[in-house]
Chain A
Amino acid sequence: MKFGVVVFPGSNCDHDAFHAIGHVLQKPVEFIWHQSEDLQNSDVLLLPGGFSYGDYLRTGAIARFSPVMNAISKFAKDGGLVLGVCNGFQILLEAGLLPGAMMRNSGLRFICRHVHVRVEDTNSPFTNAAQKGQILKLPIAHSDGNYNCDPDTLAELEKNHQVLFRYTTPDGNDDTTGNPNGSMNNIAGICNRERNVAGLMPHPERAVESALNSEDGLVILGSMVEALVGAAKATA
């Protein structure tokens, strides 16, 4: 089992993801440079948060043209697991690996705080270790997390249970008071129809130790480990 953490110029959560996987989960992990098309035999790819290329144009809009994205697209089409967090999610949207787009937060300001998200579906490699309806406390830190898509896409997402995480209040109400950024249907994270590519705005890698005020991120990262272990068993 090997995790690859992709480093774009301007990625700034790459070390955090590396620490969470390598030192907290104690799984093999390597950085993958954006200029490389060699994914170094990774079994799962993590696109970390940050401001790739400064995000001066539109979040993720330039990073999607990095050479590594060709390899990642192919990897995803072949069923490989890909998780984009924050800027990584934005890049996956820009690359068309996930549907929809990000707009500026409804308050037009950067927001950094802990939010609560409800696990909407456990049938995915990113949520299989969670309980359905489980509330996770995770930090967000973004300017552009206001998820948007056309009505048909939204209907499809809901119908196919592609919404994996939804913002709620601490006790699980999804009446928009828990929604920090104006995101449609309180969407915090989605997966593709094949369920092997997912993105979310909150940062699971920042919630992996009690000293950091939450360990709930381990549910998501742990799900991926379990999925890989399961896959390895299935092929053995």
Chain B
Amino acid sequence: MATTLTEIKVTPEIAAEHGVTREEYARIQKILVRDPNITELGIFSVMWSEHCSYKSSKVHLKRLPTRGKLVVQGPGENAGVVDIGDGLVAAFKIESHNHPSYVEPFQGATTGVGGILRDIFTMGARPIAILDSLRFGEIVPGKNSAEPETAANRRILDGVIRGIAHYGNCFGVPTVGGEVAFEPCYCQNPLVNALALGIARKEDIFLAKAKGLGNPVIYVGAKTGRDGIHGASLLASAEFTEESQQKRPNVQVGDPFTEKLLLEACLEAMKTGAIVAIQDMGAAGLTCSTCEMASRGGTGIEIDLAKVPQRETGMSPYEIMLSESQERMLLVAQKGREQEVLEVFKKWGLDSTVVGEVTAGGLLVVKDHGKIVAQIPAHPLAEEGPVYNRPMTSPAPRVESDKDWFPFAPEKTDLTANFKKLLASPTIASKSWITEQYDTSVRTNTLAGPGASDAAVVRIKESEKDGPGGKTMRSLALSTDGNGRWCFLNPKVGAMHAVAEAARNVAASGARPIAATNCLNFGSPEKPEVMWQFSESIDGIGEASTALGTPITGGNVSFYNETLGKSIYPTPVIGILGILDDSSKVLKIAFRHEGDIIVLLNGANSSGAGQHATLPSARRREFSSSEYSKTIAGIVRGEPPSIELGAEKWLIDCLVALAAASTIESAHDLSDGGAAVALAESCFASPGAGLAPPLLGAAITLPENASAEYALFGESGARAIVSVSPRKLAALRATARQYGVGAHEIGKVTREDSLRIEYKGHTVVQSDVSALRDAWANSLERAVTGRNQ
């Protein structure tokens, strides 16, 4: 087979089978000044795939703000790097692994986590946290989802969760947060976006630039097999059809144990000082790591495939170059010091071998037993791929009228039953059944794990033997957010909300948001409407990131998220990193003391429950895009709430100031499900270290605003619910005033097992907290396992 493959005569037709267009093929011929052989075609096809080349997104991504005074490394390296003070830097990045997770949920998710972890430790940073942003189709049969479909979605969910758990738990990095949401559009195209965070000393950051003629190129880690060939080009860069299950062989298989060894060995080898450059072999494996390192270093690289450790015999050059076997790294060492590096990998029981060297002239030369099998200029291959400014069309305006929008219930209606139903809906329900399958506490840095605070908070230890060291009291906070439904209704405003919510979540943990990473999940870029959604989203992210001071430091674009021609909702997911200067000041969502006063903070400084929509019909239009509208009425229409970035910024600054001064006892931002859900969650979280009574309650009077449903469940931004001891209420008011944030007393924390919400003099919600909690806490497990029905 190996010989037949190399003898294949390449034609434009064969190129087309590789996803290479006629124009792209002509470009390849021009670069090579001849026809490519089959191995070279394979190499071009993966490097110029949408996944690796960003050919459809590049022109738009340029519009994102990427600079800031704390940004050490922006997009273009394996991960973004920001200065976090005390001589330390944080490396972080989010990436998608959507298609593999549909085709083979367990392995797809494991390798998603593995890939992003490698991106972090490739930079010389030790990973300290993982977050996962997940989207699935509906898992409970309902109006838009039938049982065979929901059963399939439950199976995908289960596989993905097990996969993430398997990899992260074994690797030994806590999975501390993320989100899980459900919409019918993700039915045959789940989204699995994994974010990893690592820390390092500033001077210890490694880049992937091959320098120094004659320096040896060393292959380390797992052996190369036939798995994952064309993962990037065929799986990640094409939509799904009915035959997509046949793509299972394109999915890679993850081995977290080997990755753990690779991590320890890489960090130890980096300390020798003999490593010049390093890059992981992820998408497009050996191809990508060789040509990108050479291109960035302005050099060439020559390797001999005969020296590459292989899992099986008889692999062709084409297969070795395109394999996406996991847990592999390519590094460049100082000539004469390679033995020091090899010794470290030997100690950890890993393959490591010199496979080539850095050369002059900028050529990537691939040999097999000394015979040249591919010879391509590295820079054009890595950086001069096709760039498309694809056509865009805004969709026809939706014809909607008053009668299509959510009909508010008459005044005085008891909303308790609807509230319970909302709390039990999978998107809002507790995710503890999922997050308890993740190791959330390993490394003993987790100050706020899943659900404890609006953001995940991990501390930086004052000293760790092989860690960053130095004196620091700091913690890092991270949140990932995205709202596909809102982006579908208005991509620009929806994307702005994603940035704002992530930043707000970070601030609600007490941390100052400093930088962002993004994962842009969209349908086919060949559809003008999808490109329009993409372009609008980029504008929204850019505007919001600029306003909130969170430059984009990296991330990834995932196109072709569609099956049988149906696109997912445009789903940009934003991860925001924040710094908390004093780790003892983490804010959590839990109410803590009976008698504390509950205050609704509003950056828009209005009467409280959302000022943006003033006309009644506009409120109904906006409310029709809410989680409540979807869950209770099955209505998904209208527009996301309008957004005021200034108001968001004021609220963020106010929360950070309140945390720094230890003014408040708890903080929880308003998002899915509005004020009512935020209040309930703050009650649910209250059982702490054996406190009695286990659950605190609340008695609330919400300010008048349109209708009770709008006041309780409206999702307009720039708002948070905080609790404060009565003696600090004045201080809270003063701080709020200073930042121009409205502070509205809405009730008190009680010692009763009761949540009561009054509106316009009527009790609209009244229930035991424990009964609400049961609906919220157990519904996901019931839905997935069918247990306790």
Q: Which residues of A contact B (CB under 8 A)?
A: 9-10, 12-13, 15-16, 18-20, 22-23, 31, 49-51, 53-56, 109-113, 137, 139, 141, 143, 170, 203, 205-206, 208-209, 211-214
Contacts and interface: CB of A to CB of B under 8 A. Distances in A.
B348 interface: yes
A141 B442 contact: yes
Nearest 9 interchain pairs by C-beta: A12-B172, A54-B257, A51-B170, A141-B439, A16-B444, A110-B437, A112-B439, A139-B441, A110-B165
Contact of B436 (A15, A20, A113): A113
Interface stretch (B46-54, B391-399, B457-465, B495-503): B457-465
Contacts of B467: 15
Contacts of A213: 689
29 contacts: A9-B257, A9-B261, A9-B349, A10-B257, A12-B171, A15-B466, A16-B443, A19-B461, A20-B444, A51-B260, A53-B257, A54-B170, A111-B437, A112-B435, A112-B436, A112-B439, A112-B440, A137-B689, A137-B690, A141-B440, A141-B441, A143-B169, A170-B690, A205-B444, A206-B441, A206-B442, A211-B584, A212-B444, A213-B689
A111 B462 contact: no
A19 B464 contact: yes
B690 A112 contact: no
A23 B462 contact: yes
Interface in B319-353: 348-349
A130 B667 CA distance: 37
B437 A15 contact: no
B255 interface: yes
Contacts of A141: 169, 439-442
Contacts of B464: 15, 19
Interface in B514-560: none
A50 to B, nearest CB: 6
Interface in B702-732: none
B583 interface: yes
Given A9-B257, A15-B465, A110-B438, 8 more contacts: A9-B349, A16-B443, A49-B442, A54-B255, A110-B437, A111-B437, A203-B441, A205-B444
A120 B771 CA distance: 35
Chain B residues touching A, range: 35 or more
A139 B82 CA distance: 32
B447 interface: yes
A25 to B, nearest CB: 13
Contact of A51 (B257, B438, B443, B462): B257
B252 interface: no
B490 interface: no
B443 to A, nearest CB: 6
A54 B171 CA distance: 9
Contacts of B446: 212
Contacts of B461: 19, 23
A111 B442 contact: no
A209 B444 CA distance: 9
Contacts of A110: 165, 169, 437-439
A170 B688 CA distance: 11
User: Among B162, B440, B462, B465, which residue has the most Cβ atoms of chain A within 10 A?
Assistant: B465
Contacts of A111: 436-437
Nearest to A52: B257
B256 interface: yes
A50 B441 contact: no
Chain B interface main SS type: loop
A143 B162 CA distance: 11
A234 to B, nearest CB: 32
Contacts of B437: 109-112
B644 to A, nearest CB: 36
A19 B437 CA distance: 25
A174 to B, nearest CB: 17
B261 A23 contact: no
B444 A206 contact: yes
Nearest to A22: B465
B436 A13 contact: no
Given A54-B170, A111-B436, A211-B584, A12 B260 contact: yes
A55 B689 CA distance: 33
B156 to A, nearest CB: 17
Nearest to A203: B441
Contacts of A206: 441-442, 444
Contact of B442 (A13, A22, A55, A113): A13
A19 B255 CA distance: 27
A145 to B, nearest CB: 13
Given A9-B348, A205-B444, A212-B444, A54 B439 contact: no
Interface in B640-695: 689-690
Interface in B26-70: none
B242 to A, nearest CB: 33
Contacts of A211: 447, 459, 583-584
Interface string B337-371: 00000000000110000000000000000000000
Contacts of B440: 112, 141
A50 B263 CA distance: 15
Contacts of B466: 15
Given A12-B172, A12-B260, A51-B257, A214 B689 contact: yes
B325 to A, nearest CB: 16
A208 B348 CA distance: 30
A235 B301 CA distance: 65
B441 A212 contact: yes
A23 B464 CA distance: 9
Contacts of B436: 111-113
A208 B257 CA distance: 27
Contacts of B257: 9-10, 51, 53-56
Nearest to A31: B465
Nearest to B465: A18
A19 B444 contact: yes
A206 B440 CA distance: 11
Contacts of A15: 443, 464-467
A23 B463 contact: yes
Interface string B453-475: 00000010111111100000000
Contacts of A209: 444
Interface in B248-285: 255-258, 260-261
Nearest to A213: B689
User: Among A18, A54, A110, which residue has the most Cβ atoms of chain B within 10 A?
Assistant: A110
Contacts of A18: 465
Interface string B161-201: 01001000111100000000000000000000000000000
A13 B256 contact: no
A19 B461 CA distance: 9
A118 B543 CA distance: 55
Contacts of B438: 110, 112
Contacts of B465: 15, 18, 22, 31
A44 B466 CA distance: 22
Nearest to B584: A211
Contacts of A54: 170, 255-258
Given A9-B349, A19-B444, A112-B437, A51 B256 contact: yes
Interface in B424-444: 435-444
B447 A16 contact: no
A65 to B, nearest CB: 14
Nearest to B261: A9
B770 to A, nearest CB: 16
A216 B423 CA distance: 34
Contacts of B348: 9
Contacts of A214: 689
B441 A55 contact: no
Given A19-B464, A109-B437, A111-B437, A10 B170 contact: yes
A22 B441 CA distance: 19
Contacts of B690: 137, 170
A112 B168 CA distance: 12
Nearest to A24: B444
A229 to B, nearest CB: 24
